[in-house]
Amino acid sequence: MKILLMGHPNVGKSVFFNRLTGAKVFESNYPGTTVDFMKGWMRLEREDVELIDVPGAFSLEPKDRAEEVAVKMLEENRDSVVVCVLDASKVERGLYLALEIIERGYPVVVALNMWDVAEDKNIRIDVEKLERILGVPVVPTIAISGEGFKELVSKIKDAAPVKIEKIIESVGAVSAAASTGEAQAQGGGESAAVS
């Protein structure tokens, strides 16, 4: 099993990587490029697992050399679990990349990193609801302190591919439930939810 760490630049992937691998780290250039990536090993249920810190990417539609390398690394490691590291204070930005990875059929765990920054900005994320919608494990983390890492590591084995249609269905169900709830709160009953 391999684990790929993916996410936008500056979301704390390197701190994540260092915390998970400790000292067992190798820095390398992707063949034929000057784009660096890190590779190391971590312990997962009594076995050594390869961990790759993929270059930062905003999308799987590459706009620069680093993103091209990120997409190639993802494609070359079809059997990998992807830990998608998102900035919890800008979660909507990172979700686009996470959804692209999920859509390609990879098992994904979403790490909502910089959880403390989001809390400081009074940003509230319903982790359980996001987990239900995406159908993948979602874990709040603070890479600098290691908060949430034990839970994150325990959920890696739970990661499984999810059909994008299931996510679309979940979003529709959550939206319908929210609309119904708002309409009933306003005294309009269910008819107001559909009007």
Query: pLDDT confidence of 166, banded at 50, 70, 90?
Result: confident
Lowest mean pLDDT among 40-49, 69-78, 183-192: 183-192
pLDDT digits (tens, 9 = 90+) for 16-56: 898 899 866 666 656 565 577 888 999 888 889 999 999 99
Q: In whole angstroms, give the CA distance from residue 184 to residue 83.
A: 39
pLDDT reported for residue 86: 97
Q: Which of 91, 99, 16 is nearest to 60 (CA)?
A: 99
Both 155 and 175 in one domain: the answer is: no
The answer on pLDDT for 194 being more than 60 is no
How many domains are there within the chain?
2
The answer on pLDDT for 58 being more than 90 is yes
Both 70 and 148 in one domain: the answer is: yes
Cα–Cα distance list, 13 to 17, 101, 160, 175, 194 (Å): 6, 16, 21, 32, 43
Both 176 and 108 in one domain: the answer is: no
Q: In whole angstroms, give the CA distance from residue 159 to residue 154.
A: 10
The answer on pLDDT for 195 being more than 60 is no
Both 97 and 133 in one domain: the answer is: yes
Both 8 and 94 in one domain: the answer is: yes
Q: Which of 149, 150, 144 is nearest to 12 (CA)?
A: 144
Both 130 and 182 in one domain: the answer is: no
Both 62 and 145 in one domain: the answer is: yes
Both 44 and 134 in one domain: the answer is: yes
- Could you tell me which residues come within 8 angstroms of residue 145 by beta carbon, excluding any fewer than 6 positions away? 116
Cα–Cα distance list, 159 to 3, 32, 53, 127 (Å): 11, 32, 18, 16
**Mean pLDDT over all residues of the chain?**
85
- CATH number, residue 92: 3.40.50.300
pLDDT digits (tens, 9 = 90+) for 127-153: 999 999 999 999 999 999 999 999 999
pLDDT reported for residue 23: 62
Stated pTM of the model: 0.83
Both 121 and 180 in one domain: the answer is: no
pLDDT reported for residue 120: 95
pLDDT reported for residue 31: 59
Both 175 and 106 in one domain: the answer is: no
Q: In whole angstroms, give the CA distance from residue 167 to residue 162.
A: 8
Give the domain range for residue 146.
2-161
Both 79 and 171 in one domain: the answer is: no
Both 6 and 53 in one domain: the answer is: yes
Helices (H), the chain: 13-21, 65-76, 91-103, 115-120, 127-134, 149-156, 164-185, 191-194
pLDDT reported for residue 170: 76
- SS3 state of residue 39: strand
Q: What is the CA radius of gyration of the chain?
A: 18
